[in-house]
Amino acid sequence: MEKIKIEVGLVGNPNVGKSTVFNQLTGLNQHTGNWPGKTVEKKVGYIEKGKYLIEITDLPGIYSLTANSIEEIISREYIVKEKPHLVLLIIDASAIERNLYLLSQLLELTSNIIIGLNMIDILQSKKYKLDIKKLEERLGLPIVPMVATKNIGLRELVDKIIEIFEKDNLNPKRVNYGDLENDLQEIEKYLPDRIENYPRRWIALKLLEGDTITIDICRNNLENWLQLKEIIERKENNPIRVASARYSWIKKILEGTLERPKKQAISWTEKIDEILTHPILGSIFAVIIISLIFYLTFSINDIFSSLLESLLDQIGKVLLNLLNFLPPWWKSFLVNGVWQGVSTLLSFIPLITVFFFFLALLEDTGYLARLAFIADRLMHILGLHGKSLIPLVISFGCNVPGVMATRTLEDEKDRVLLIILDSFIPCVPRILVASFFLSIFFPDKAFILLLSLYFISFISIFISGKILRRKVLKTSLTPLLMELPIYKFPNPKIIMIYVWEKLKSFLIRAGTVMVILSGITWILSHFPTDSIENSVLASIGKFSLLFLKPLGFNWELATGLISGFIAKEASLSTLGAIYGASGNKLGEILLGNITPITAFTFIVFQLLYIPCAATVATIYKETRSIKWTLFSIFYSLSYAYIFTLFLNQVLSLFWR
Amino acid sequence: MIKSVAEMTKGEKGKVITIHGGKGKILRLAEMGITPGEELILIQKSLGPVIVRVKDVNLALGKGLAESIFVEVEENGKNQN
Ligand SMILES: Nc1nc2c(ncn2[C@@H]2O[C@H](COP(=O)(O)OP(=O)(O)O)[C@@H](O)[C@H]2O)c(=O)[nH]1
């Protein structure tokens, strides 16, 4: 029998336990995607109960419904355009006053709201008394008390969803805006009942708040817009009047409903924060934690990845035997091209699992926000947010998890910026290639030059951050404004689902792109004949000399760079294949063929020029935008070119 | 006495009087709970950013924000100036 579908939109402030509720309700029965055209993640999950199929759409965590952020726009458009049967609002009971602010705005869009009053345990430990019955009456909305982490109240929540769906008679109390009611009525006179699905009163409020999108809609739809504009702009402080009116309404609702103890007990969180957010102690602790995570991630990864690699090699050999019936070209294409791509992809599994395990731990305990607070000042020097620290640090090991970790940044533009900047961080394979060249050309200056590479990478991030922010993204660095959630014990189930989600989306979404890219590169390097000197790849290398000649590169180096796109270390093996030598032999040949200046230019170029295929695939997965993916390639290529051209000139002048 | 949040000392309480800055910034702060008339406590000071508690929530504020929020703090027995 076809089930009856109930569509539910899940809404709430960040850190209220929304994901916990979502995961507890839907388990692994969920799909992840992106909102159409946005880099914001969209999750949909399902619950089956009796004759109903409940479809839950997890909306981004938000504080408000203004046009300030993409997350807020997505949420409000979802509510008025998709018209879910119910909106499930999760509220943190221990910070109910601030949480009800979002409700006051939701009420202007829809009446069909259920409140999941979460974190009742925290409320109790703070010795707050909340009269839930009274609150229900005053709001005219059903409230289900919950402790999502302990699975308390979730069954009742599902029952409530079905009950409300069947009755369909919610009639919540309207928000009273006090002094502002007169202004609202005056504005509403100019408005039709609805504009583009938004109710009249909502529009009036958003106009007073100075909501840019709403103003545009009205300008385009209303004939008497100019008169309306005058009314709205009569008072300079209208936005803050609206916010204050909402909070006064909330204060009235909570009067006699919520009782705070006179003297508040000092909570665990405060005691821990005394140290962890302390300017000195906190910084020391942060350095220890980050180093530990970096060290553990890559050493645990080493253990597993060598095991995995030999396993994958074995499979490759078996495949080679199995495919014996194919013509050699096809066989080689499938095994050395396609399978190689697949196994490179699979070899990321340990790294991603381990790193995101730690990141989930940081996030779930609440420490990640403190880290951002501590790092904020430092990151400002680079023109970035405190939250950029972890993605940047992990990129030193590998850019792939670095790009994926940018998800912890809320603002879309900040995220895109960081994704592009991440690829200027020299990951381990790039440093390996660099070290090889340094040890051959500058054996006694290798270390200091290696350090200079890190310096170049910082300079590049600094310059590019400034350029991209101003010219491309057109945003300024918004100052830090972030809620610090209370500390919690990590929840194993949440961490497991988090890691699994990351891994799954990486394998599926980045995987396809990667396999295709490595297939193409294989064909390019083995076509028309099997030898690399005559391949299309080499022709491209020779052609690119048009541009690369001024850097002093020969076609061999250029070809090496192109194959370095698949994996940075591949540029060495390609050079080896071209020159027919490896290790010290290759070193000697290179010494005879290129000048030290060219060698150093090459090192810097390969450091900056392009993210590797796996990173490009991940950039695509994270941004879901071909435009941004191509832009990131284009930008790093042009930046690397201009930078090294300049460097090359300077070196030629001064380096004797 | 009126001073900015950046000038408050750790543990000090203050009532928000005004917030300097553009409409967008003021609205954003209001949405997070900082509105004129509201009481806040300074929980932690770092090398620029601060942590304040307002409406049962701890908020981290960057240096620029802390400098643009002005509060009235009680004089506790000290000389007035
Ligand atoms: N004590 C307590 N912690 C909770 C409860 N619900 C969620 N949490 C924790 O609160 C934190 C934030 O939860 P999360 O679901 O990630 O919040 P989201 O940002 O709203 O998705 C996590 O550490 C959860 O384990 C609850 O009812 N009680």
User: CATH top-level class for A180-259?
Assistant: mainly alpha
Nearest-CA distance from B68 to chain A in Å?
11
Do residues A297 and A358 make contact, with C-beta atoms less than 8 angstroms apart? yes
Put simply, whether B26 touches A (Cβ < 8 Å) is yes
Q: How far apart are CA A589 and CA A411, in angstroms?
A: 49
Nearest-CA distance from A253 to chain B in Å?
15
DSSP string, A131-198: -HHHHHHHHTS-EEE-BGGGTBSHHHHHHHHHHHHHH----PPPPP-TTHHHHHHHHHTTS-SEETTE
Do residues A231 and A186 make contact, with C-beta atoms less than 8 angstroms apart? yes
* Distance in Å, CA A646 to ligand 1 centroid: 51
| Tally of CB atoms within 10 A around A317 | 11
Do residues A563 and A429 make contact, with C-beta atoms less than 8 angstroms apart? no
User: CATH top-level class for A4-167?
Assistant: alpha beta
3-state secondary structure of A235: coil
Do residues B39 and B5 make contact, with C-beta atoms less than 8 angstroms apart? no
Q: Are A376 and B32 a contacting pair at CB < 8 A? A: no
Which runs of E-coded beta strand occur in A496-645? none
Compute and round to an integer the Cα radius of gyration of chain A.
Answer: 29
Element (H, E) at A24: helix A18-26
Which chain B residues are closer than 8 Å to A210 by Cβ?
Answer: 23-24, 27
User: Regarding beta strands A4-12 and A86-92, do their DSSP bridges make them parallel or antiparallel, or are they unpaired?
Assistant: parallel
The residues lining ligand 1, judged by C-beta closer than 6 Å to any ligand atom, are A 12, 14-20, 61, 118-119, 121-122, 147-149, 364, 488, 491, 494
pLDDT, averaged per 10 consecutive residues of chain A (656 residues), comes to 92 93 88 78 92 95 88 93 96 96 96 96 92 96 95 96 93 92 92 91 94 92 90 89 95 94 82 93 94 91 90 90 87 84 87 92 92 91 89 91 88 90 92 92 92 95 94 86 90 87 85 83 81 86 91 92 86 87 89 94 94 92 91 96 95 82
Q: How far apart are CA A105 and CA A65, in angstroms?
A: 7
Nearest-CA distance from A378 to chain B in Å?
10
Q: Where do the domains of chain B lie, and which CATH numbers do they carry?
A: 1-9+34-81 (2.30.30.90)
Put simply, whether A480 touches B (Cβ < 8 Å) is yes
Element (H, E) at A80: none
Which chain B residues are closer than 8 Å to A96 by Cβ?
Answer: 56
Atom of ligand 1 lying closest to residue A16 CA: 20
Q: What is the pLDDT of residue A449?
A: 94
Put simply, whether B2 touches A (Cβ < 8 Å) is no
User: Regarding beta strands A41-49 and B50-54, do their DSSP bridges make them parallel or antiparallel, or are they unpaired?
Assistant: unpaired
A603 to A422, A565, B16: CA distances (angstroms): 18, 14, 55
Q: How far apart are CA A401 and CA A390, in angstroms?
A: 10
Put simply, whether A101 touches B (Cβ < 8 Å) is yes
Is residue B79 very low, low, confident or very high in pLDDT (cuts 50, 70, 90)?
Answer: very low
Question: Cβ-count burial of A256 within 10 angstroms (0-12 exposed, 13-18 middle, 19+ buried)?
Answer: exposed
Q: Where are the domains of chain A?
A: 4-167, 180-259
DSSP annotation of A199: E
| Cα-based torsion angle of the residue sequence B71, B75, B79, B81 in order, rounded to the nearest 10 degrees | 20
Q: What is the pLDDT of residue A566?
A: 82
A624 dihedral zone (left: phi>0; alpha: psi -120 to 50; beta): left
Q: How far apart are CA A52 and CA A216, in angstroms?
A: 40
Nearest-CA distance from B13 to chain A in Å?
14
Q: How far apart are CA A506 and CA A36, in angstroms?
A: 19
Q: What is the pLDDT of residue A119?
A: 95
Q: How far apart are CA A148 and CA A454, in angstroms?
A: 45
Minimal CA–CA distance to A393: which of A617, A382, A39?
Answer: A382
Is residue B76 very low, low, confident or very high in pLDDT (cuts 50, 70, 90)?
Answer: low
Q: How far apart are CA A459 and CA A251, in angstroms?
A: 50
Put simply, whether B49 touches A (Cβ < 8 Å) is yes
Sign of CA pseudo-dihedral A293, A299, A303, A309? positive
Element (H, E) at A294: helix A281-322
| Cα-based torsion angle of the residue sequence A292, A297, A298, A304 in order, rounded to the nearest 10 degrees | 140
Q: How far apart are CA A496 and CA A504, in angstroms?
A: 12
3-state secondary structure of A288: helix
The structure's pTM equals: 0.86
Do residues A1 and A51 make contact, with C-beta atoms less than 8 angstroms apart? yes
A354 to A7, A348, B49: CA distances (angstroms): 35, 10, 31
Q: How far apart are CA A368 and CA A290, in angstroms?
A: 11
The 10 Å CB-count burial string (b at 16+, else e) for A233-248 is: eeeeebbbbbbbbbbb
**Tokens (6 digits) for A303:** 């253990």
Question: A residues 305-364 near B, CB within 8 Å?
Answer: none
Q: Report the amino acid identity of residue A224.
A: N
Q: What is the pLDDT of residue A114?
A: 97
Q: Are B31 and A101 a contacting pair at CB < 8 A? A: yes
Do residues A558 and A544 make contact, with C-beta atoms less than 8 angstroms apart? yes
Which chain B residues are closer than 8 Å to A274 by Cβ?
Answer: 44
Sign of CA pseudo-dihedral A177, A180, A181, A185? negative
User: Regarding beta strands A4-12 and A52-58, do their DSSP bridges make them parallel or antiparallel, or are they unpaired?
Assistant: parallel
